[in-house]
């Protein structure tokens, strides 16, 4: 196994980009009417991709400090050519993306891939863009992969068409095009002041930037930050998220759960690279802003969860509050806290994705048509806790009073959905025994330990920010459990005689797999948190990453000697 | 020359932002196009403005920015133009779909109540 991986490196680093690209190209050539074959190719490509990224993740755990896999495209040395690098953080995000896309591909098979053209190609292109964004070690390639990811997400959002989707898509595209312009402005300013686009090279050269250019560099970094934070759904730049994710078809929404995490990943990666070398200025401005923004986002998501009237909106706001939690942890920026936050990120991303799927399966009996309900019409329900006359008294009989409710078996499909919903609610709200609780515990333990953040300080007082973060984390868990039990009760315990949802095995497979993953994440929490903490310390102290990228030597073979020479000469 | 370029970027970018905030989809797409022009000019100017210089090393001339223009911003602009063009085309399709589905060219998909 290990020798096989060794032989495949460093080519394995670029495989998560090439596999989906090849699959997408192949899928484009296949006839649209041949849906079964297209789905088979899509699922096969997803499985191959999953195997590749798991191998990559296993490879990055080598040694005590972990290994960084570097791929030099066209064999050019790091600052001159295009570089892809995989460390533990990248590998972890790749695995997360691979699981979500595989789930979406499986879930789309019975129904959703028939709702429009080229669903499977778009899914593979989306995977390619996301994988590329996680792997690239170069600011401009990040832009290119971002655009690939966004272009595919426009297609996925519009999949199934219909008025609500087109209207949501129009705004989503406009917002993202504007954010991409900000991204380019930031890239241009960073290039203008630092003179390089390679992450590692930026970190190395940022100390040489003259004092007169510092202001410009900080402005550029801030503009870049706005572009990424808008993608990561920080409040108040997250107004675009809920209408878009809510209108999207469920498999697409499942994949979209990873898109905000791309923004979070980039903020974590780039900000730590800049801070590691130049802690003076950026910490002062950036850290507090990230913490404040993250806490505001968390509070906004928590309150909005209470106000949301259906499961999809609930899932959207769960995305928002999970983003806020991670952002605030990144802003505080110590390895144990960020490690806990990464474990939380993995669990909450999968939970939200599951919620999108469960919502669709459970609400299927309500809405027959494939198009989503019009957003404005779908909200006349009163909150469940408002008394409806005649439903308040508890009774062992149904509404007509002649059928005994006790002793009736719940249909298997409803029971399965109810169990899945319960598991998702536990993860999102952070209640034991599943991974959400352990993740919140990992973060709270660090926040409430005065010496965990700064081992040298003798003070035993906990900063106000930490108390606020703790309060918001616990409060968000509370509002989540209130909102989710309300929706769950309305959905699964509603007294009206609703038809049992007809579930296909292949649709239940991703949901069941997610449940197994939640259980595994809780059972194996120790090793996983060790991994995420190591990933966090690898990104917070990026010396190894920088060294690995800049020291990577081109593959030496007879034919390459001539090509390597110019790079050597320019150094 | 710097002042002229800066003014041009400012005027184009400002017009773009104004149009982006307008309620009609056609104005929005024109605004996005103008913003992307402004951004492209901005990237171009970040490689230091030069007249008549080439990005290709000539024999006998020292390889520094005093004698050449920086090739990287040119490569970046080229990529950004291509991507921006594709995105504009895609947005145009969505715009037409919205017009066809709703019968209105308002960004909300319906005429505002007057």
CB-based contact B25:B99 (threshold 8 Å): yes
- A387 has a pLDDT exceeding 60: no
Answer yes or no: do B32 and A177 touch at CB < 8 A: yes
Place of tokens 């996983």: A528
Q: For residue A170, give the nearest of B35, B43, B94 by CB distance.
A: B94
- A180 interfacial to chain B (CB closer than 8 Å): yes
Q: For residue B91, give the nearest of A140, A177, A192 by CB distance.
A: A177
Answer yes or no: do A144 and B102 touch at CB < 8 A: no
- A177 interfacial to chain B (CB closer than 8 Å): yes
Chain B neighbors of A150, CB-CB under 8 A = 87
Tell me the pLDDT band of A186, cut-offs 50, 70 and 90: very high
CB pairs under 8 A between A and B: 85
- A494 interfacial to chain B (CB closer than 8 Å): no
Task: In whole angstroms, give the CA distance from residue A328 to residue A298.
Answer: 9
pLDDT mean over A94-113: 87
Of A380, A382, A509, A525, which is closest to residue A445 (Cα–Cα)?
A525
* Cβ atoms within 10 Å, residue B108: 13
Which positions ≥6 away from A269 have C-beta within 8 Å? Answer: A89, A199, A539
Q: For residue B78, tell me if it sits in a domain.
A: yes
Task: In whole angstroms, give the CA distance from residue A534 to residue A14.
Answer: 23
Answer yes or no: do A192 and B46 touch at CB < 8 A: yes
Tell me the pLDDT band of A392, cut-offs 50, 70 and 90: very low
B69 vs A324, more confident = A324
Number of helices (H) and strands (E) in chain B: give both, helices first.
3, 0
Q: What is the pLDDT at residue A124?
A: 92
Q: Above pLDDT 70, what percent of chain A?
A: 83
**Chain A: residue whose CA lies nearest to B30:** A174
Which positions ≥6 away from A275 have C-beta within 8 Å? Answer: A282, A283, A286, A287, A333
Distances in whole angstroms, Cα of residue A67 to Cα of each of A10, A309, A394, A535: 12, 46, 60, 11
Chain B closest CA to A467's CA: distance in Å? 40
Of A153, A347, A319, A323, which is closest to residue A251 (Cα–Cα)?
A153
Which positions ≥6 away from B52 have C-beta within 8 Å? Answer: none
Answer yes or no: do B97 and A197 touch at CB < 8 A: no
pLDDT tens sequence across B18-37: 999 988 888 999 999 999 99
The rounded mean pLDDT for chain A is 80
* DSSP state at residue A369: S
Answer yes or no: do A191 and B76 touch at CB < 8 A: yes
Task: In whole angstroms, give the CA distance from residue A47 to residue A98.
Answer: 8
- Which of B68, B87, B113 is the mutation pick for testing A, counting most A CBs within 10 A? B87
For residue A461, cis peptide bond before it (omega within 30 degrees of 0): no
- B12 has a pLDDT exceeding 90: yes
Task: In whole angstroms, give the CA distance from residue A278 to residue A284.
Answer: 11
A96 vs A109, more confident = A96
Task: In whole angstroms, give the CA distance from residue A535 to residue A96.
Answer: 14
- A460 has a pLDDT exceeding 70: no
* 3 state DSSP class of A249: coil
Chain B closest CA to A310's CA: distance in Å? 22
Of A439, A467, A450, which is closest to residue A529 (Cα–Cα)?
A439
Per-window interface: B 14-43 vs A, CB < 8 A:
20, 25, 28, 32, 35-36, 39, 42-43
Answer yes or no: do B35 and A181 touch at CB < 8 A: yes
- B104 interfacial to chain A (CB closer than 8 Å): no
Tell me the pLDDT band of A498, cut-offs 50, 70 and 90: low
**Full domain range(s) for residue B16:** 2-50+68-102
Task: In whole angstroms, give the CA distance from residue A66 to residue A69.
Answer: 10
Q: For residue B59, tell me if it sits in a domain.
A: no
Q: For residue B86, tell me if it sits in a domain.
A: yes
pLDDT mean over A158-172: 83
Task: In whole angstroms, give the CA distance from residue A513 to residue A524.
Answer: 16
- A571 has a pLDDT exceeding 50: no
Q: What is the pLDDT at residue A524?
A: 87
- Which of A180, A189, A216 is the mutation pick for testing B, counting most B CBs within 10 A? A180
Of A98, A135, A274, A269, which is closest to residue A202 (Cα–Cα)?
A274
What is the total count of domains within chain B?
A: 1
Q: For A404-408, A567-571, B69-73, which range has the lowest pLDDT when averaged over its residues?
A: A567-571
* DSSP state at residue A391: T
Chain A closest CA to B39's CA: distance in Å? 6
Q: How far is CA A118 from the centre of its chain?
A: 23
Q: Above pLDDT 90, what percent of chain A?
A: 15
Q: What is the dihedral of CA A87, A91, A93, A97, to 10 degrees?
A: 150
pLDDT mean over A13-32: 89
- B14 has a pLDDT exceeding 90: yes
CA atoms within 13 A on the CB side of A141: 23
Q: Above pLDDT 90, what percent of chain B?
A: 25
Chain A closest CA to B83's CA: distance in Å? 7
Q: For A53-57, A192-196, A208-212, A397-401, which range has the lowest pLDDT when averaged over its residues?
A: A397-401
**Chain A: residue whose CA lies nearest to B79:** A144
Q: What is the pLDDT at residue A389?
A: 43
- A147 interfacial to chain B (CB closer than 8 Å): yes
Task: In whole angstroms, give the CA distance from residue B111 to residue B97.
Answer: 16
Tell me the pLDDT band of A405, cut-offs 50, 70 and 90: low
Q: What is the pLDDT at residue A455?
A: 54
Alpha helices in A232-287 (DSSP H): 241-247, 250-277, 279-282
Domain ranges of chain A: 8-370+409-454+462-494+503-552
- A440 has a pLDDT exceeding 90: no
pLDDT tens sequence across A521-566: 888 888 888 888 888 888 888 888 888 888 877 776 645 444 444 4
pLDDT mean over A41-55: 90
Which residues sit opposite A397 in a β-bridge? A404
**Chain B: residue whose CA lies nearest to A143:** B80
pLDDT tens sequence across A129-139: 999 999 998 88
- A372 has a pLDDT exceeding 60: no
* 3 state DSSP class of A83: strand
Q: What is the pLDDT at residue A381?
A: 45
Distances in whole angstroms, Cα of residue B113 to Cα of each of A170, B106, B108: 21, 12, 12
Answer yes or no: do B101 and A166 touch at CB < 8 A: yes
Q: For residue B98, give the nearest of A140, A166, A189 by CB distance.
A: A166
Distances in whole angstroms, Cα of residue A405 to Cα of each of A402, A501, A570, B45: 9, 19, 81, 74
Q: For residue B79, give the nearest of A144, A154, A169 by CB distance.
A: A144
Q: Which two tokens stand for residue A124?
A: 């593979």
- A382 has a pLDDT exceeding 50: no
Chain A closest CA to B16's CA: distance in Å? 10
- B94 interfacial to chain A (CB closer than 8 Å): yes
Buried b (16+ CB within 10 A) or exposed e, A89-121: bbbbbbbbbbbbbbbbbbbbbebbbebbebbbb
Place of tokens 């001159």: A80
- A158 interfacial to chain B (CB closer than 8 Å): yes
pLDDT tens sequence across A256-301: 989 999 999 998 888 888 776 665 555 556 677 888 888 999 999 9
**Dihedral sign computed on CA atoms, order A96, A97, A100, A101:** negative
Q: What is the pLDDT at residue B11?
A: 95
Per-window interface: A 284-323 vs B, CB < 8 A:
none
A83-86 and A69-72 beta bridge pairing: antiparallel
Which positions ≥6 away from A405 have C-beta within 8 Å? Answer: A396, A397, A398
**ipTM score assigned to the predicted complex:** 0.92
Which residues sit opposite A136 in a β-bridge? A84
- B79 interfacial to chain A (CB closer than 8 Å): yes
- A117 interfacial to chain B (CB closer than 8 Å): no
CB-based contact A347:A521 (threshold 8 Å): yes
Q: What is the pLDDT at residue A562?
A: 45
Rg over alpha carbons for chain A, rounded to the nearest Å, is 24
Q: For residue B14, tell me if it sits in a domain.
A: yes
CB-based contact A488:A422 (threshold 8 Å): yes
A571 vs A4, more confident = A4
Task: In whole angstroms, give the CA distance from residue A257 to residue A157.
Answer: 12
Which residues sit opposite A94 in a β-bridge? none
Q: What is the pLDDT at residue A62?
A: 78
Q: What is the pLDDT at residue A388?
A: 43
Task: In whole angstroms, give the CA distance from residue A551 to residue A467.
Answer: 43
Rg over alpha carbons for chain B, rounded to the nearest Å, is 19
- B81 interfacial to chain A (CB closer than 8 Å): no
Answer yes or no: do A187 and B43 touch at CB < 8 A: yes
- B78 interfacial to chain A (CB closer than 8 Å): no
- A181 interfacial to chain B (CB closer than 8 Å): yes
* DSSP state at residue B106: B
Answer yes or no: do B39 and A163 touch at CB < 8 A: no
Phi-psi region of B60 (alpha: psi -120 to 50; beta: other; left: phi over 0): left
- B102 interfacial to chain A (CB closer than 8 Å): yes
Q: For A38-52, A90-104, A237-251, which range has the lowest pLDDT when averaged over its residues?
A: A237-251
Answer yes or no: do B20 and A189 touch at CB < 8 A: no
């Amino acid at each position: 196994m290990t020798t096989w991986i060794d032989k495949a490196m460093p080519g394995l680093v670029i495989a998560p980009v090439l596999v989906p690209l090849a699959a997408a190209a192949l899928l484009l050539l296949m006839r649209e009417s041949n849906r079964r074959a297209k789905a088979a190719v899509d699922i096969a490509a997803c499985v191959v991709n999953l195997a590749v990224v798991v191998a990559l993740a296993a490879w990055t755990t080598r040694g005590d400090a972990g290994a960084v896999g570097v791929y030099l495209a066209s064999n050019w040395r790091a600052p001159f050519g295009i570089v892809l690098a995989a460390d533990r953080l990248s590998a972890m995000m790749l695995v997360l993306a691979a699981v979500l896309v595989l789930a979406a591909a499986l879930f789309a098979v019975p129904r959703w891939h028939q709702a429009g053209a080229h669903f499977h190609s778009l899914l593979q292109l989306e995977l390619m863009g996301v994988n590329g964004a996680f792997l690239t070690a170069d600011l401009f390639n990040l832009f290119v992969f971002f655009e690939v990811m966004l272009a595919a997400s426009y297609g996925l959002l519009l999949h199934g068409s219909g008025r609500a989707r087109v209207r949501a898509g129009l705004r989503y595209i406009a917002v993202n095009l504007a954010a991409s312009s900000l991204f380019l402005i930031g890239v241009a300013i960073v290039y203008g002041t630092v003179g390089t686009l390679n992450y590692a090279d930026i970190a190395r050269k940022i100390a040489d930037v003259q004092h007169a250019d510092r202001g410009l560099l900080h402005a550029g970094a801030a503009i870049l930050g706005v572009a990424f934070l808008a993608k990561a759904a920080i409040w108040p730049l997250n107004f675009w998220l809920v209408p878009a994710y809510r209108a999207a078809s469920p498999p697409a929404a499942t994949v979209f759960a990873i898109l905000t995490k791309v923004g979070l990943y980039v903020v974590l990666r780039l900000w730590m690279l800049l801070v590691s070398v130049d802690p003076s200025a950026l910490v002062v401005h950036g850290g507090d802003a990230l913490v404040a923004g993250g806490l505001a986002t968390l509070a906004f998501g928590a309150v909005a969860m209470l106000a949301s009237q259906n499961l999809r909106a609930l899932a959207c706001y769960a995305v928002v509050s999970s983003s806020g939690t991670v952002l605030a942890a990144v802003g505080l920026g110590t390895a144990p806290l960020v490690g806990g936050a990464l474990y939380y990120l993995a669990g909450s991303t999968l939970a939200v994705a599951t919620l999108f799927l469960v919502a669709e399966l459970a609400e299927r009996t309500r809405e027959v048509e494939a198009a989503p309900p019009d957003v404005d019409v779908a909200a006349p329900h009163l909150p469940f806790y408002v008394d409806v006359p005649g439903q308040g008294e508890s009774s062992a009989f149904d509404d007509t009073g002649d059928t005994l409710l006790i002793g009736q078996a719940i249909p298997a499909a409803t029971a399965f959905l109810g169990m899945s919903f319960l598991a998702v609610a536990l993860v999102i709200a952070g209640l034991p025994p599943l991974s959400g609780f352990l993740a919140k515990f990992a973060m709270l333990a660090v926040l409430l330990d005065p010496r965990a953040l700064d081992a040298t300080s003798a003070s035993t007082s906990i900063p106000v920010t930490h108390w606020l973060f703790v309060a918001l984390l616990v409060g968000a868990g509370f509002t989540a459990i209130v909102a989710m039990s309300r929706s769950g009760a309305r959905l699964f315990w509603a007294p009206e005689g609703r038809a049992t949802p007809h579930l296909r095995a292949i649709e239940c497979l991703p949901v069941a797999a997610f449940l197994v993953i939640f259980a595994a994440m809780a059972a194996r929490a120790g090793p996983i948190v060790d991994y995420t903490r190591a990933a966090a310390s690898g990104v917070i102290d990026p010396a190894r990453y920088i060294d690995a990228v800049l020291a990577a030597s081109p593959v030496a073979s007879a034919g390459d000697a001539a090509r390597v020479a110019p790079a050597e000469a320019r150094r | 020359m710097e002042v002229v370029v800066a003014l041009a970027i400012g005027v184009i970018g400002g017009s773009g932002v104004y149009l982006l905030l307008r309620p009609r989809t056609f104005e929005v797409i024109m605004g996005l196009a103008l913003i992307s022009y402004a951004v492209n000019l901005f990237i171009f100017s970040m490689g230091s403005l030069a007249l008549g210089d080439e990005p290709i090393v000539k024999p006998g001339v020292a390889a520094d920015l005093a004698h050449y223009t920086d090739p990287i911003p040119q490569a970046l602009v080229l990529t950004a133009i291509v991507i921006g063009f594709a995105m504009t085309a895609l947005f145009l399709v969505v715009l037409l779909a919205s017009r066809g589905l709703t019968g209105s060219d308002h960004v909300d998909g319906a005429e505002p109540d007057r």
